[in-house]
Amino acid sequence: MANATNENNNPLLKEFDFPPFDSIDASHVRPGMRTLLKKLDSDLSELEKNVAPSWPKLVEPLEKMMDKLTVVWGAVNHLKAVKDTTELRSAIEEIQPEKVEFDLKLGQSKPIYEAFKAIRESPDWAGLSDAQKRIVESSIKEAVLSGVSLDDSKREEFNKIQQELTKLSQKFDENVLDATKKFEKLITDKKEIEGLPATSLGLAAQTASSKGHENATAENGPWMITLDAPSFMSVMQHAKNRALREEIYRAYISRASSGELDNTPIIEQILKLRSEKAKLLGYNNYAEVSMATKMATVSKAEELLEKLRSASWNAAVQDMEDLRQFAKSQGAPEADELTHWDTTFWSERLRESKYEINEEELRPYFSLPKVMEGLFSLVKMLFGIDVEAADGIAPVWNADVRFYRIKDSAGKPISYFYFDPYSRPAEKRGGAWMDEVVARSRILSDDKTSVRLPVAHMVCNQMPPVGDKPSLMTFREVETVFHEFGHALQHMLTKQDEGLVAGIRGIEWDAVELPSQFMENWCYHRDTLMSIAKHYETGECLPEEIYQKLLAARTFRAGSLSIRQLKFATVDLELHSKYVPGGSESIYDVDRRVSEKTQVIPPLPEDRFLCSFSHIFAGGYAAGYYSYKWAEVLSADAFSAFEDAGLHDDKAVRETGHRFRETILALGGGKDPLEVFVEFRGREPSPEPLLRHNGLNFGRLVSHRQSESSTALTMTRFVLIVLIVLCSFQSNVRCSSVGSSTKQLRFNRKKGEFKILQVADMHYADGRKTPCEDVLPEQFAHCTDLNTSIFLIRMIQAEKPDLIVFTGDNIFGHDATDAAASMNAAFAPAIASGIPWAAVLGNHDQQSTLRREGVMKYIVGMKHTMSQLNPEGFDVIDGFGNYNLEVHGVEGSSFMNKSILNLYFLDSGDYSTVPSIRGYGWIKASQQFWFQQTSKKLQNSFKAPGLAYFHIPLPEYAKLDSSSFTGVKQEAGISSASVNSGFFSTIAGSGDVKAVFTGHDHLNDFCGNLTGIHLCYAGGFGYHAYGKAGWSRRARVVVVSLEKGSRGDWGAVKSIKTWKRLDDKNLTAIDGQVLWMES
């Protein structure tokens, strides 16, 4: 013990190229981690004192700190997963709060947070690489999610929650492992295990021998059955003894659900604390917190899951009917009442019968050495790398662990990895996973000129060698190895030198499964499969007819397998978005409710699978399990690129593989994953390859029987129609484009202009089912929301704006059955154009299925939008959708890094919430304060003109008349708030706003000057909005033009002009005006 506590002898504190896994033990954890945390705490204090908004003085020292902790703590926790002991658990449990305390201190460091924000706002921002910008943006976001913006009392509460959540997740995981280890069933009568194949009998005898039955043999027993995956699955697939299958199944689905290992109260407390954490951060639920760092939003994830569920359900029902009929044909007495412990057994029998494939008879063709040899040959062809054994270079934690080195085509080492393949239920947790050991980094290289090479570990739990036989694998275990190696490749083949976003670091969680699931596809590629499928004794290749049967069996029970994953993903989202801890519904009520739509056979009353659902309660998948399905779309489409190139064309496969390596595998977290995908594929992802690979009907997504159709699916069909219409208008329309939410707006180089299209009051509802209002009698029969979409398409084509601004009442909530679906359709033409767009809310947007905040959050999550929920740094601000956008000068000009046009967007509210004041809402003092501060800050940098957009007109609009405006005033009055909050005086005082643009009053389209500020309506745009028969719907266009220098270079803003276009045959332009000219 004395040596362990000596810092000089503690392996955790030594410098190493590879962690000393063979010498780290529990006694090193407490002293080693405390010494490290003390050093890091000192380093953090020093950084905070000397921090500056530059890469060398902020990011580089921060990376060194974070990396040291990640590597050392990662090694400790890795050992807990693969070499668990009571002593190691105790040490980790004791030191964990201190580690979490440091994490929180680092995450909530205001000096670091402010320094990152200063980098983002500095003139140097434009010169940063994509990866550096991602580091800055993600660091700011992570700081906010870590509670940096909370006041002291809330931050203290947040930190307590975080500490408790860490403890609970750890305890949950330990309970699952202990409950799994606890169950043992010794069998002495061979009749009880009739049907189990020889490999399973050998494993069961080997397990019995390890438990003290030294004379156990595969032939004579005794045999030990456990809940470890190889043992459990073997019984469920092959045991003819139905009573045994039932006993093992019931034990498995009730793990960690009773006694001292009961995870039920732990789950309830985890969900309660996660909900409280979300509320502290200003979110409605924990799912929204989780999605804040993912590609998807809650509504998008729910939409994807429902679409796939609908496409899979009928197939799953048919799967069950096929099983019943087959079991009946085999004379099974249980045929008419098949239940959970029967489906796997009879599925395996049906597969054997239908495809003449016996999973166990295939094992001899899939020995681990041959599988790895074939896998390494495949990646050599695809990615130009060599994988070679390097055992002995790095210490390992078990004699079965292998170590490998990867070299590039020039023979230069580029990465390393460990592989721990076998199940060890006494000390190793179940499942399969990959994680980093160290990440690639320029800063952390020895000489600071090259890079530190990445190291990964891969862990599986397949059947170990039995006797003199090598590990013989099921085909599913082969797929698992390929899957985990896909993860490892993304970490090891990265070319990203910024350590904080290298490899798997910084990649959105719902994109990390892309390379892993992509690799699984190669298991069905003929040349690849034939290279690994060689009989371990004879060397005979897998017969061609068996390969063809494997291929045919790929879609066997695809509906059932899909619906199972969808159940997990759906219950995860439900628990983290809708479940109310302590409410009338228990966690098991939620599970049963979800199961009604996702399980053909209802769960047993005692089913407690949630108690072992480690992915969401002890892993990183909370409100993220959907990402398996999300990434399946990406991975299937990525593999289809190889299919398109020709899988039999080696040259084309190598070229496509090179492109995959240089994009998906090389760019790491340094670039938005959707942009990376488009760079590889040449377009955005399509779900068609996934459904084709799964043997499901793509048409089901868009052509359900009318009796089964939902509003969301109806709207989806409508969106597809709109996009097709848009694509047919002009060949150069970008119907597939990368999201523009982080794009810098800037003036057009060719014309020196920036053009804005304003769309007011679309009043979108349910698409083609929604009739028009106030049109001519001959138009009424065929007029729907579709007319609004066509008008928007025509305007985009005619004006080709640089920004589209939607000024509220985008949907008409009272008639929109599904708010998300209505918004998808309403904004579809803008999204399909690829043009950046921004939106504010009106007084009707929140009257459907989403509240006001939910509507704005949904908009913020949409493609190509520049919209923001609210400004960062302003903890208290009324409304949702207050933000500003900067428009920079022409690329290459002296103004390229300056905002020379400032755009302000505000939430003008819906209705008064003050009982004594009736009528519409107004812009509150908190919003005006934000505007004043933002305007002042921008003008201190450069005095640029500004434009303001919101929905409800200011009371000052009433001061204009026909002598002072251009356009028409057809409404009885101005529908402003009955309260004048003084915002006109505020913007007048700011000095930069030259014009205000609103909607709300559909029959007013005038624009007039009031004391130097133009107050402008757009006029009603939408056909489901009230209007005037015979009076055309219309939109407003604003063009801002730059001064051109004597040498032809573009300068600052010279003029702001506007006009309107009518939705008539010629899109007639009317009412041109000059709003402002530089004097």
- Read off the amino acid at residue 816: A
Q: In this structure, what token pair is assigned to residue 190? A: 């061979």
Q: For 958-982, give one letter per residue: b (16+ CB within 10 A) or e.
A: eebeeeebbbebeeeebbbbeeebb
Bridge-based pairing of strands 899-905 and 946-949 is: parallel
Q: What type of residue is 1005? A: D
> What 3-state DSSP class applies to 919?
coil
Measured CA distances, 361 to 108, 371, 462, 778 (Å)? 57, 16, 16, 72
Distance (Å, whole) CA 822 – CA 832: 16
Spatial contact of 201 and 157, defined as CB atoms under 8 Å apart:
no
Beta bridge partners, 441, equal: 452
CB 845 within 8 A of CB 833: no
User: 484 an active-site residue?
Assistant: yes
What is the Cα–Cα distance from 1007 to 993, expressed in whole angstroms? 15
Task: Give the other-Cβ count within 10 Å of 208's Cβ.
Answer: 23
Taking residue 419's Cβ as centre, other Cβ atoms within 10 Å add up to: 22
Sign for the CA dihedral angle at 667, 670, 673, 678 comes to: negative
Cα(713)–Cα(39) distance, integer angstroms: 56
Q: Tokens in use for 250?
A: 């019931």
d(CA 794, CA 785): 15
State the Cα–Cα distance between residues 1036 and 795, nearest whole angstrom.
Answer: 10
Structure tokens that stand for 734 in this block: 């970008």
The CA distance from 1069 to 920, in Å, is: 32
Helices (H) and strands (E) in the chain, counts: 35, 21
Residues 951, 808 contacting (CB under 8 angstroms): yes
Q: Are strands 413-422 and 402-407 parallel, antiparallel or unpaired?
A: antiparallel
Selecting among 348, 484, 773, 956, the annotated active-site residue is 484
The secondary structure element, H or E, covering residue 305 is helix 298-329
Distance, in Å, from the CA atom of 376 to the CA atom of 382, rounded to the nearest integer, reads: 10
- The secondary structure element, H or E, covering residue 371 is helix 368-383
Q: Name the residue among 589, 584, 585 with its Cα closest to residue 607.
A: 589
Residue-by-residue DSSP string for 817-843: S-HHHHHHHHTHHHHHHT--EEEE--S
CA distance 308 to 636: 14
CA dist list (Å): 21 to 137, 437, 479: 35, 11, 28
Q: Which residues are designated catalytic?
A: 484
